[in-house]
Amino acid sequence: MHTVNIGQILANRAFLTPELEAYKGQNYLFNYKEANIRANSFSKYLISKGLKKGDCIAVLGKNNEHIITSLFGAAKIGIVTVMLNWRLQPNELKYILHDSNFKLLVYDEEFSDVAQALGDESKNLLIIKYSQNQDNQFEQVINANLTAENMCIGGNDDPAVIMYTSGTTGNPKGATLSHNNLFWASIGIAYTIHLNFKYRFLSVAPIFHIGGLAPIMTNVHSGITTIFMPNFDPSKVWEIIASEKINWMMSVPQMLQFMLLYKDIDRLDLKSLKFIVCGGSPVPKEIITSYFSKNIKVYHVYGISEYTGAVTFWMNDMGLDNYSAGKPVLHGTVKIIKPETGEILPPGEIGEICCFGPQVFSGYWNNEEATREVKKNDYYRTGDLGKIDEHGFVYVVDRLKDMIISGGENIYPAEIEAVIKKFQGISEVAVVGKNDSKWGEIPVAVVVKSQNSNITEDDIINFCKSNLAKYKCVKEVHFVDSIPKNAVGKELKKELRKMVNKQ
């Protein structure tokens, strides 16, 4: 039986199209033959240091070739790569160090202080620095270990990547993705959004998120060139799209909003750009239409780390009348279940979104209890509330744990937040439930005012009454300077619930 190893996929791509550009970035360009040689060199180095199948390494860096070379080199010999979020604090990374027990760290020079802190925590940790200067330890490792192709070790359901999900309710959990997960996810993306051989991809969404990493796997599989951009800069994004003839890219809504502010879009030659994929959080319809007015297509992706990335895609050809999270990726299935019983619900009814298919993750690293809570009979319970209409379009409504039950009615904070955001003078809003002796819970808004805004609690409550059913209207408004968020920008609604219930 054939063994799937993502490192072997890189080797196969190098054999098929050795001269095709693989990775391009600041001061470097590698074709697929060179990319595969570099991965082999890193494999040889890991072996020389005594690392073996099942061990973990970690990477701490911005979007660049050395991060991907490390991952493929490790995968070739059955070693697991932990993708570290460089926005985390040292103490948060120390938790991941202890949980995954990674033996080696590849890091960018700008994170030297963090690397040193991790090195102090674990005296046996091997540390390799990547820099643009002559003391580039990573390049020294590659050049000192040039080697021929070796037989890959392991694959299929063996772990390949661990992505620690943000902890909004506790410590982060390591979503473990197998070689098979990454293989099937790459097929799902490529054939759902119709990627072509020799396309050029701009990697600017952080690759420590699955939304940034999964496309690069797809690119290697499909014979696509990846252009790395370590730091997001709206004007430079447009200029790189034009100069590098970019065909597609991954983004989040905030990025696209900032990019719209660039005044010289219309003067650039953007004919190469086929579409931009956007996800990570709900994508406002206004973003879709704003880009479409500039003849740029934006595809909305609903993705989850535990599903190895994309669950569904909405594409422009599906029509704005059907604007939603779209339809499941190829080889993927989505069903809606009743959370309390697991009963599959009919079209139109709101329940918990569940994902089926070979993209479902292996489980949480060293956490069987958490795995059992979400992985049932080979499907993944997302914790998201949603529905599927009669045409198969998936609609994400809210997080299950954020739903408010007031007087027996289900209230979805995201719906209320979308209404309040339309009121002028509001910078941010989050809606949570507050305990109430009569109704069980009541909806309460936590609001950050825009600069020089004079809006009042009554203004917001009255606006809700004009736009929502009475039971959905917020009963209180709390004005704050900022809404607490975790390291990846997710609102900490647990903290907000504590705050409103104390007052």
pLDDT tens per residue across span 4-18: 999 999 999 999 999
DSSP characters for 313-341?
EE-GGG-GGG-SSBEEPTT-EEEEE-TTT
Answer with the one of 330, 358, 388 that is the final residue of a domain.
388
In angstroms, the CA 407 to CA 87 distance is: 41
Answer with the one of 388, 418, 451 that is the final residue of a domain.
388
Most confident of 132-146, 250-264, 352-366: 352-366
Mean pLDDT, range 369-380, rounded to an integer: 91
Residues 319 and 463 in one domain: no
Residues 104 and 204 in one domain: yes
Residues 442 and 366 in one domain: no
Is residue 92 domain-resident?
Answer: yes
**The pLDDT of residue 92:** 84
Residues 416 and 490 in one domain: yes
Does pLDDT of 110 surpass 60? Answer: yes
Answer whether 189's CB lies under 8 Å from 183's CB.
no
Residues 288 and 144 in one domain: yes
Residue range(s) defining the domain that contains residue 460 = 403-502
Residues 351 and 445 in one domain: no
Nearest by Cα to 224 from 243, 201, 245, 206: 201
Does pLDDT of 49 surpass 60? Answer: yes
Is residue 398 domain-resident?
Answer: no
The H or E element containing residue 230 is none
Residues 144 and 237 in one domain: yes
Nearest by Cα to 6 from 188, 157, 160: 160
Residues 166 and 66 in one domain: yes
Is residue 394 domain-resident?
Answer: no
Nearest by Cα to 457 from 445, 443, 471: 445
Mean pLDDT, range 204-221, rounded to an integer: 96
**The pLDDT of residue 167:** 55
What is the CATH classification number for the domain harbouring 433? Answer: 3.30.300.30
Pinpoint the alpha helices (H) of 195-349. Answer: 210-222, 234-243, 253-260, 285-292
**The pLDDT of residue 149:** 83
Report how many domains make up the chain. 2
**The pLDDT of residue 409:** 81
Is residue 325 domain-resident?
Answer: yes
**The pLDDT of residue 50:** 96
Is residue 311 domain-resident?
Answer: yes
**The pLDDT of residue 169:** 53
Say what percent of the chain tops pLDDT 90. 81
- The mean-pLDDT minimum among 239-248, 327-336, 408-417 falls in 408-417
- The mean-pLDDT minimum among 154-163, 305-314, 385-394, 399-408 falls in 399-408
Mean pLDDT, range 170-188, rounded to an integer: 94
**The pLDDT of residue 487:** 63
Residues 346 and 207 in one domain: yes
Answer with the one of 356, 388, 420 that is the final residue of a domain.
388
Residues 331 and 422 in one domain: no
Residue 428 corresponds to which amino acid? E
Residues 291 and 157 in one domain: yes
DSSP characters for 356-421?
ESTTS--EETT-HHHHHHHEETTEEEEEEEEEE-TT--EEEEEEGGG-EEETTEEE-HHHHHHHHT
Residues 80 and 220 in one domain: yes
Is residue 231 domain-resident?
Answer: yes
Question: In whole numbers, what is the pLDDT of the chain averaged over residues?
Answer: 93
Q: Is the pTM of this model over 0.85?
A: yes
Is residue 412 domain-resident?
Answer: yes
What is the CATH classification number for the domain harbouring 252? Answer: 3.40.50.12780
In angstroms, the CA 12 to CA 485 distance is: 42
Count CB-CB contacts under 10 A for residue 473. Answer: 21
Is residue 14 domain-resident?
Answer: yes
Count CB-CB contacts under 10 A for residue 136. Answer: 17
Measured in degrees and rounded to the nearest 5, phi and psi for residue 86 equal -70, -5
Does pLDDT of 89 surpass 90? Answer: no
What residues pair up with 228 in beta bridges, in sequence order?
A: 203
